[in-house]
Amino acid sequence: MAETTRAGFVALIGEPNAGKSTLLNRMVGAKVSIVTHKVQTTRARIRGVAMEGDSQIVFVDTPGIFKPKRRLDRAMVSAAWGGAADADVVVLLIEAHKGITEGVEAILAALDEHSNPKQKIALAINKIDMVDVEKLLALAKDMNERRSFVETFMISAEKGKGVDDLRKWLARELPEGPWLYPEDQIADLPMRMIAAEITREKLTLNLHQELPYQLTVETEQWEERKDGSARVDQVIYVSRDGHKGIILGKRGETIKRISRAAREELAEFLGRKVHLFLQVKVRPNWLEEAERYGEMGLDFKDGN
Protein backbone atom coordinates (compact mmCIF):
# COMPACT_ATOMS: atom_id res chain seq x y z
CA MET A 1 0.00 0.00 0.00
CA ALA A 2 1.36 3.43 -0.98
CA GLU A 3 2.51 5.86 1.68
CA THR A 4 0.32 8.87 2.40
CA THR A 5 1.45 11.87 0.41
CA ARG A 6 1.41 15.43 1.71
CA ALA A 7 1.49 18.74 -0.12
CA GLY A 8 1.01 22.36 0.75
CA PHE A 9 2.26 25.92 0.66
CA VAL A 10 4.91 27.45 2.92
CA ALA A 11 5.34 31.23 3.02
CA LEU A 12 8.71 32.70 3.94
CA ILE A 13 8.19 36.19 5.36
CA GLY A 14 10.50 38.76 6.89
CA GLU A 15 12.24 42.05 6.37
CA PRO A 16 14.10 42.77 3.12
CA ASN A 17 17.47 41.00 2.98
CA ALA A 18 16.63 38.63 5.84
CA GLY A 19 17.75 35.70 3.67
CA LYS A 20 14.43 34.42 2.32
CA SER A 21 15.66 33.92 -1.25
CA THR A 22 18.86 32.22 -0.06
CA LEU A 23 16.80 29.89 2.15
CA LEU A 24 14.38 29.07 -0.68
CA ASN A 25 17.23 28.25 -3.06
CA ARG A 26 18.89 26.08 -0.40
CA MET A 27 15.62 24.22 0.28
CA VAL A 28 14.82 23.63 -3.37
CA GLY A 29 18.39 22.84 -4.36
CA ALA A 30 18.39 25.16 -7.37
CA LYS A 31 18.48 28.87 -7.97
CA VAL A 32 14.89 30.00 -8.52
CA SER A 33 14.91 33.32 -6.70
CA ILE A 34 17.43 36.09 -7.24
CA VAL A 35 19.91 36.66 -4.44
CA THR A 36 21.69 39.99 -4.10
CA HIS A 37 23.05 42.14 -1.30
CA LYS A 38 20.48 44.79 -2.07
CA VAL A 39 17.18 44.86 -0.24
CA GLN A 40 13.77 44.47 -1.87
CA THR A 41 15.02 42.57 -4.92
CA THR A 42 12.33 39.89 -4.85
CA ARG A 43 9.23 41.31 -6.49
CA ALA A 44 7.02 38.42 -7.53
CA ARG A 45 5.79 35.61 -5.29
CA ILE A 46 8.22 33.06 -6.66
CA ARG A 47 7.34 29.49 -5.79
CA GLY A 48 9.98 26.82 -5.48
CA VAL A 49 9.04 23.17 -5.10
CA ALA A 50 11.00 20.91 -2.75
CA MET A 51 10.53 17.17 -2.20
CA GLU A 52 11.08 15.71 1.26
CA GLY A 53 10.14 12.04 1.54
CA ASP A 54 6.48 11.72 0.53
CA SER A 55 5.84 15.43 1.02
CA GLN A 56 5.90 18.17 -1.59
CA ILE A 57 6.66 21.59 -0.14
CA VAL A 58 5.69 24.54 -2.31
CA PHE A 59 7.54 27.64 -1.14
CA VAL A 60 6.16 31.12 -1.59
CA ASP A 61 9.15 33.47 -1.51
CA THR A 62 7.51 36.78 -0.74
CA PRO A 63 8.98 40.26 -1.18
CA GLY A 64 10.47 41.68 1.99
CA ILE A 65 7.99 43.45 4.24
CA PHE A 66 8.91 47.09 4.78
CA LYS A 67 7.29 50.52 5.05
CA PRO A 68 6.01 51.24 1.53
CA LYS A 69 6.43 54.65 -0.10
CA ARG A 70 5.72 54.16 -3.82
CA ARG A 71 3.07 52.25 -5.75
CA LEU A 72 5.58 49.48 -6.51
CA ASP A 73 6.48 49.25 -2.81
CA ARG A 74 2.81 48.97 -1.82
CA ALA A 75 2.16 46.27 -4.42
CA MET A 76 5.21 44.31 -3.19
CA VAL A 77 4.14 44.45 0.46
CA SER A 78 0.58 43.48 -0.49
CA ALA A 79 1.98 40.49 -2.41
CA ALA A 80 4.03 39.48 0.62
CA TRP A 81 1.04 39.46 2.97
CA GLY A 82 -1.11 37.80 0.30
CA GLY A 83 1.45 34.98 0.09
CA ALA A 84 1.37 34.57 3.86
CA ALA A 85 -2.43 34.52 4.06
CA ASP A 86 -2.71 31.73 1.46
CA ALA A 87 -0.08 29.43 2.98
CA ASP A 88 -0.52 26.34 5.17
CA VAL A 89 2.62 27.17 7.16
CA VAL A 90 4.32 30.53 7.64
CA VAL A 91 8.01 30.85 8.52
CA LEU A 92 9.09 34.23 9.90
CA LEU A 93 12.76 34.77 9.14
CA ILE A 94 14.79 37.21 11.23
CA GLU A 95 18.52 37.98 11.30
CA ALA A 96 20.42 36.85 14.40
CA HIS A 97 22.81 39.81 14.49
CA LYS A 98 20.09 42.44 13.98
CA GLY A 99 17.65 40.97 16.49
CA ILE A 100 14.22 42.52 16.99
CA THR A 101 14.27 45.60 14.78
CA GLU A 102 11.43 48.06 14.23
CA GLY A 103 10.60 46.15 11.06
CA VAL A 104 10.38 42.82 12.91
CA GLU A 105 8.15 44.43 15.54
CA ALA A 106 5.86 45.75 12.79
CA ILE A 107 5.63 42.28 11.21
CA LEU A 108 4.81 40.71 14.57
CA ALA A 109 2.06 43.29 15.12
CA ALA A 110 0.59 42.63 11.67
CA LEU A 111 0.80 38.82 11.77
CA ASP A 112 -2.55 38.34 13.52
CA GLU A 113 -4.30 40.53 10.97
CA HIS A 114 -2.81 38.76 7.95
CA SER A 115 -2.62 35.14 9.11
CA ASN A 116 -5.47 32.75 9.83
CA PRO A 117 -6.06 30.65 12.98
CA LYS A 118 -5.45 27.35 11.16
CA GLN A 119 -1.93 28.32 10.09
CA LYS A 120 1.16 27.15 11.88
CA ILE A 121 3.69 29.94 12.29
CA ALA A 122 7.33 29.03 12.94
CA LEU A 123 10.33 31.23 13.67
CA ALA A 124 13.65 30.82 11.87
CA ILE A 125 16.61 32.79 13.20
CA ASN A 126 19.03 33.14 10.29
CA LYS A 127 22.77 33.97 10.09
CA ILE A 128 23.42 32.23 13.42
CA ASP A 129 27.17 32.13 12.78
CA MET A 130 27.29 35.92 13.29
CA VAL A 131 26.44 35.87 17.03
CA ASP A 132 27.29 33.77 20.08
CA VAL A 133 25.03 31.12 21.60
CA GLU A 134 23.94 33.24 24.59
CA LYS A 135 22.64 36.01 22.30
CA LEU A 136 20.87 33.47 20.12
CA LEU A 137 19.07 31.87 23.06
CA ALA A 138 18.11 35.28 24.46
CA LEU A 139 16.73 36.36 21.07
CA ALA A 140 14.72 33.13 20.70
CA LYS A 141 13.29 33.58 24.21
CA ASP A 142 12.40 37.23 23.57
CA MET A 143 10.67 36.44 20.26
CA ASN A 144 8.65 33.59 21.78
CA GLU A 145 7.56 35.81 24.64
CA ARG A 146 6.18 38.28 22.12
CA ARG A 147 4.41 35.58 20.13
CA SER A 148 4.01 31.87 20.65
CA PHE A 149 5.65 30.16 17.67
CA VAL A 150 4.94 26.46 17.09
CA GLU A 151 8.68 25.84 16.54
CA THR A 152 11.89 27.87 16.56
CA PHE A 153 14.80 26.99 14.26
CA MET A 154 18.38 28.24 14.31
CA ILE A 155 19.73 28.29 10.77
CA SER A 156 22.33 29.61 8.37
CA ALA A 157 20.62 29.68 4.98
CA GLU A 158 23.89 30.52 3.25
CA LYS A 159 25.87 27.65 4.78
CA GLY A 160 22.98 25.19 5.07
CA LYS A 161 23.12 24.78 8.86
CA GLY A 162 19.79 23.74 10.33
CA VAL A 163 18.05 23.88 6.94
CA ASP A 164 17.49 20.11 6.70
CA ASP A 165 15.77 20.09 10.11
CA LEU A 166 13.48 22.92 9.03
CA ARG A 167 12.62 21.21 5.74
CA LYS A 168 11.84 17.89 7.48
CA TRP A 169 9.62 19.62 10.00
CA LEU A 170 7.74 21.47 7.25
CA ALA A 171 7.23 18.20 5.38
CA ARG A 172 5.54 16.65 8.44
CA GLU A 173 3.31 19.67 9.06
CA LEU A 174 1.73 19.88 5.60
CA PRO A 175 -1.80 18.55 5.04
CA GLU A 176 -2.34 15.12 3.53
CA GLY A 177 -3.16 15.18 -0.15
CA PRO A 178 -1.84 14.61 -3.68
CA TRP A 179 1.21 16.46 -4.95
CA LEU A 180 0.48 19.79 -6.61
CA TYR A 181 3.27 19.71 -9.21
CA PRO A 182 5.14 17.06 -11.21
CA GLU A 183 8.07 15.76 -9.13
CA ASP A 184 10.72 17.20 -11.46
CA GLN A 185 9.25 20.72 -11.58
CA ILE A 186 11.21 23.06 -9.33
CA ALA A 187 9.38 26.32 -9.95
CA ASP A 188 5.98 27.34 -11.26
CA LEU A 189 7.20 30.61 -12.72
CA PRO A 190 7.16 30.64 -16.50
CA MET A 191 10.65 30.40 -17.93
CA ARG A 192 10.24 33.89 -19.39
CA MET A 193 9.94 35.36 -15.91
CA ILE A 194 12.80 33.31 -14.49
CA ALA A 195 14.99 34.52 -17.38
CA ALA A 196 13.98 38.12 -16.64
CA GLU A 197 14.77 37.65 -12.95
CA ILE A 198 18.24 36.30 -13.79
CA THR A 199 19.01 39.35 -15.94
CA ARG A 200 17.63 41.70 -13.29
CA GLU A 201 19.91 40.09 -10.73
CA LYS A 202 22.95 40.71 -12.93
CA LEU A 203 21.89 44.34 -13.42
CA THR A 204 21.51 44.81 -9.66
CA LEU A 205 24.92 43.25 -8.97
CA ASN A 206 26.74 45.23 -11.66
CA LEU A 207 25.16 48.64 -11.17
CA HIS A 208 25.55 48.75 -7.38
CA GLN A 209 24.04 51.93 -5.95
CA GLU A 210 23.61 53.71 -9.28
CA LEU A 211 20.25 52.29 -10.28
CA PRO A 212 18.67 50.43 -7.37
CA TYR A 213 15.01 49.88 -8.23
CA GLN A 214 14.31 52.15 -11.19
CA LEU A 215 14.41 49.36 -13.75
CA THR A 216 12.55 46.23 -14.73
CA VAL A 217 13.27 43.45 -17.22
CA GLU A 218 10.78 41.72 -19.51
CA THR A 219 11.32 38.72 -21.76
CA GLU A 220 9.67 39.80 -25.00
CA GLN A 221 10.37 36.72 -27.10
CA TRP A 222 11.43 33.12 -26.54
CA GLU A 223 12.31 31.04 -29.58
CA GLU A 224 13.17 27.34 -29.43
CA ARG A 225 15.72 26.55 -32.13
CA LYS A 226 16.13 23.31 -34.09
CA ASP A 227 19.63 22.74 -32.68
CA GLY A 228 18.17 22.61 -29.13
CA SER A 229 19.30 26.09 -28.15
CA ALA A 230 17.00 28.98 -27.24
CA ARG A 231 16.96 32.59 -28.44
CA VAL A 232 15.79 34.97 -25.72
CA ASP A 233 15.02 38.64 -26.41
CA GLN A 234 14.65 40.91 -23.40
CA VAL A 235 13.92 44.57 -22.80
CA ILE A 236 15.31 46.51 -19.85
CA TYR A 237 12.93 49.37 -19.01
CA VAL A 238 14.30 52.43 -17.25
CA SER A 239 12.57 55.67 -16.32
CA ARG A 240 15.24 58.19 -17.46
CA ASP A 241 17.65 58.70 -20.37
CA GLY A 242 20.53 58.99 -17.91
CA HIS A 243 19.78 55.50 -16.60
CA LYS A 244 20.09 54.08 -20.11
CA GLY A 245 23.63 55.42 -20.38
CA ILE A 246 24.60 53.89 -17.04
CA ILE A 247 23.37 50.45 -18.12
CA LEU A 248 25.10 50.61 -21.51
CA GLY A 249 28.37 51.86 -19.99
CA LYS A 250 31.43 53.18 -21.80
CA ARG A 251 31.53 51.68 -25.32
CA GLY A 252 28.76 49.30 -24.25
CA GLU A 253 31.05 47.44 -21.84
CA THR A 254 28.56 47.31 -18.95
CA ILE A 255 25.67 45.86 -20.96
CA LYS A 256 28.04 43.29 -22.53
CA ARG A 257 29.22 42.16 -19.09
CA ILE A 258 25.64 41.92 -17.80
CA SER A 259 24.47 40.06 -20.90
CA ARG A 260 27.33 37.55 -20.70
CA ALA A 261 26.71 36.81 -17.00
CA ALA A 262 22.94 36.45 -17.51
CA ARG A 263 23.40 34.24 -20.59
CA GLU A 264 25.83 31.91 -18.79
CA GLU A 265 23.55 31.49 -15.78
CA LEU A 266 20.43 30.95 -17.90
CA ALA A 267 22.29 28.36 -20.01
CA GLU A 268 23.37 26.56 -16.84
CA PHE A 269 19.80 26.69 -15.49
CA LEU A 270 18.33 25.27 -18.71
CA GLY A 271 21.19 22.87 -19.40
CA ARG A 272 21.57 24.06 -23.00
CA LYS A 273 22.94 26.88 -25.13
CA VAL A 274 21.20 30.28 -24.93
CA HIS A 275 21.43 33.26 -27.29
CA LEU A 276 20.48 36.31 -25.21
CA PHE A 277 19.73 39.71 -26.76
CA LEU A 278 19.17 42.75 -24.54
CA GLN A 279 17.69 46.13 -25.41
CA VAL A 280 17.38 49.15 -23.11
CA LYS A 281 14.28 51.33 -23.50
CA VAL A 282 13.26 54.48 -21.68
CA ARG A 283 9.68 54.48 -20.35
CA PRO A 284 9.34 57.43 -17.95
CA ASN A 285 6.17 56.11 -16.29
CA TRP A 286 6.78 52.37 -16.20
CA LEU A 287 6.28 52.39 -12.42
CA GLU A 288 2.68 53.47 -13.06
CA GLU A 289 1.84 50.97 -15.84
CA ALA A 290 -0.42 48.06 -14.93
CA GLU A 291 1.15 45.86 -17.64
CA ARG A 292 4.61 46.09 -16.03
CA TYR A 293 3.19 44.90 -12.71
CA GLY A 294 1.53 41.91 -14.37
CA GLU A 295 4.90 40.90 -15.86
CA MET A 296 6.38 40.94 -12.35
CA GLY A 297 3.56 38.81 -10.92
CA LEU A 298 2.20 41.74 -8.89
CA ASP A 299 -1.27 43.25 -8.81
CA PHE A 300 -1.31 46.88 -10.00
CA LYS A 301 -4.38 47.57 -7.84
CA ASP A 302 -2.48 46.54 -4.71
CA GLY A 303 -0.30 49.63 -5.15
CA ASN A 304 -3.16 52.03 -4.50
pLDDT digits (tens, 9 = 90+) for 199-239: 988 888 888 655 545 678 888 888 888 998 989 999 998 88
| pLDDT computed for residue 184 by the predictor | 65
Dihedral of alpha carbons 126, 130, 135, 137, sign:
positive
Q: Residues near 169 by Cβ (< 8 Å), separated by ≥ 6?
A: 122, 151, 153
pLDDT-above-90 percentage for the chain: 33
Q: Residues 183, 51: contact at Cβ < 8 Å?
A: yes
CA–CA gap between residue 274 and residue 270 (Å, rounded): 8
Q: At residue 73, does pLDDT exceed 70?
A: no
Mean pLDDT of 135-161: 94
Q: Is the pLDDT assigned to residue 8 strictly greater than 70? A: yes
Between 78 and 194, the higher pLDDT residue:
194
- Spatial CB neighbours of 72, under 8 Å, sequence gap ≥ 6: 43, 213, 287, 293, 298, 303
Whether residue 162 is predicted with pLDDT greater than 70 in this model: the reply is yes
Average pLDDT over residues 170-189: 80
Model pLDDT for residues 235-258, shown as the tens digit of each residue? 998 888 888 888 888 999 999 999
Whether pTM exceeds 0.85: no
Q: Please report the pLDDT score of residue 223 as a whole number.
A: 87
